[in-house]
Amino acid sequence: MPADSWPTWETRARITLAVHQAQSEQALRTLAALGLPAVLIEKARCVRLRLHNRLWRLLGLDMELSDSPMEMFRWSVAAAEAMPLLHHLARALDLRTPGNGTLYAQEVRECAALRPPALPALPGLAPPTGHLPTDLTLITGIQSVSGAEDTLPRLALLLGAGVPIVSRGQGAGVRDRLGLIRITIPPEKELVQLIVPTHDADGLQALLIEEGRLDRPGGGILYQTPVRAGLMDSLLRLGRQEHAASLEQIIAAIDDLKQGTTWRKRVFDGRPLPGRRPTAAGTHREICFVCPDGDGDAFVQAAMEAGAPGATLSRVQLVDLTGQAESRNMARERGIICVPAQREASLLEALSRVLAANADSHGLLQVIEASFLFSHQAS
């Protein structure tokens, strides 16, 4: 790649599709039929509440968390291709039915070593049907795995915020700066992703911070990123259905009739947050990089030298959908870095140099605005 053409940044749409593991092959066939050359797959789990009757039904209902294995598919397309693609996938995979999965698109700025072609099958797709909500926000939580697993997912379900999708990662860089306190913070991380209506995002995040005790040292971070459009899974609870339609099905139907989720806006009590207040909208950036397995350390080192506080690395697979690759599954690392907006330029410059040095590695960089970041910093 000529030096004078690097880096080239474009506005793209990052698509995320999360379905049950049993639906993975169907999802891959659907994406391959559209002409998508490759897709990143990350293993995750979906957390719901399971309800069952206590002894002789005299003591009411008992609730426990129920996990389902999921796979998260990620890829990027031209911004103009996002909406017809979302409508097609929602129809092809029946994602409007509660419990069948989550699908959303986010606009990102992207710098990729290899530019994927436009999807050839899109012009022949059927016209869009139904409504796709556009008033959505993604709340991302990153916590150390230290015996408090499922705290955020449980709270999200009890609050009726949505179905959390949980994956695992590894902290890199930040622990080395913490001195002796680092022995109390395991490197293993739990990443919780939750799609919520935008008008409820701030109130729900405040409750998650307070009830999840993120104000403690090592409690983790929580932040928001905008969602262009999508469908969020509304099947919060599993158990015997006693009526012709579940509450989740009724909510989904009203969302479609109302053309959005604004009708279910909540009223929060406005109580102050403990500890540090979350930062205001637009003050941070979420930077994501994807590289071959084993190359993540080079990106993390460059980011740390440019002023990043640390990164969270996850193992993913790059799955070739053309049948032309020597190996269908290629191991990759996906890193997430959240930094103040004023450090964006220097950080992207450092990471771009690492990406340019490995231009044949199918790597990429993505950046998106992050809002209302909350983290605990030891004094």
Is residue 279 in some structural domain? Answer: no
Residue 197 CA to its chain's centroid (Å): 15
Which backbone phi and psi does 298 adopt, to 5 degrees? -65, -40
What local confidence, expressed as pLDDT, does residue 269 receive? 54
Residue 141 CB contacts under 8 Å (≥ 6 apart), including other chains: 152, 190, 191, 192, 193, 194, 208, 212, 214, 220, 221, 222
Is residue 215 in some structural domain? Answer: yes
The 8-class DSSP code of residue 34 comes to T
Is residue 359 in some structural domain? Answer: yes
Q: Is the CB of residue 335 less than 8 Å from the CB of residue 169?
A: no
Residue 256 CB contacts under 8 Å (≥ 6 apart), including other chains: 96, 130, 131
Cα–Cα distance, 296 to 27 (Å, whole number) = 28
Listed residue (277, 271, 273, 302) closest to 289, CA to CA: 302
One-character DSSP codes across 274-286: SSSPPP-TTSEEE
Is residue 3 in some structural domain? Answer: no
Which backbone phi and psi does 169 adopt, to 5 degrees? -145, -175
Two structure tokens written together for 230 = 């999508």
Is residue 153 in some structural domain? Answer: yes
User: What is the 3-state secondary structure of 47-116?
Assistant: EEEEEEECHHHCCCEEEEEEEEEEEEEEEEEEHHHHHHHHHHHHHHCCCCCCCCCEEEEEEEEEEECCCC
Helix 344-357 vs helix 296-305: crossing angle, to nearest 10? 150
What local confidence, expressed as pLDDT, does residue 175 receive? 52
Q: Is the CB of residue 351 less than 8 Å from the CB of residue 302?
A: yes
**pTM for the predicted model, two decimal places:** 0.87
Residue numbers of the domain that contains 184:
10-50+62-119+129-271+284-375
**Number of residues assigned to the chain:** 379
Is residue 124 in some structural domain? Answer: no
Q: Is 320 helix (H, G, I), strand (E, B) or coil?
A: strand
Is residue 1 in some structural domain? Answer: no
Is residue 276 in some structural domain? Answer: no
Which backbone phi and psi does 348 adopt, to 5 degrees? -65, -35
Q: Alpha helices of the chain — where are they, by DSSP H?
A: 24-33, 82-92, 151-158, 198-211, 247-258, 296-305, 344-357
Domain total in the chain: 1
Cα–Cα distance, 292 to 298 (Å, whole number) = 11
Q: Is 344 helix (H, G, I), strand (E, B) or coil?
A: helix
Q: Is the CB of residue 141 less than 8 Å from the CB of residue 220?
A: yes
Tens digits of pLDDT across the chain (379 residues): 444 455 689 999 999 999 999 999 999 999 999 999 999 999 999 998 887 665 555 555 567 888 899 999 999 999 999 999 999 999 999 998 888 999 999 999 999 877 777 888 888 888 887 789 898 999 999 887 765 567 888 888 888 888 999 999 988 865 555 444 444 555 788 999 999 989 888 888 888 888 777 777 667 889 999 999 999 888 887 766 655 556 666 666 666 666 666 666 665 555 555 545 566 677 899 999 999 998 999 999 999 999 898 899 999 999 988 876 555 678 999 999 999 999 999 999 999 999 888 766 678 999 999 998 888 654 3
Q: Is 339 helix (H, G, I), strand (E, B) or coil?
A: strand
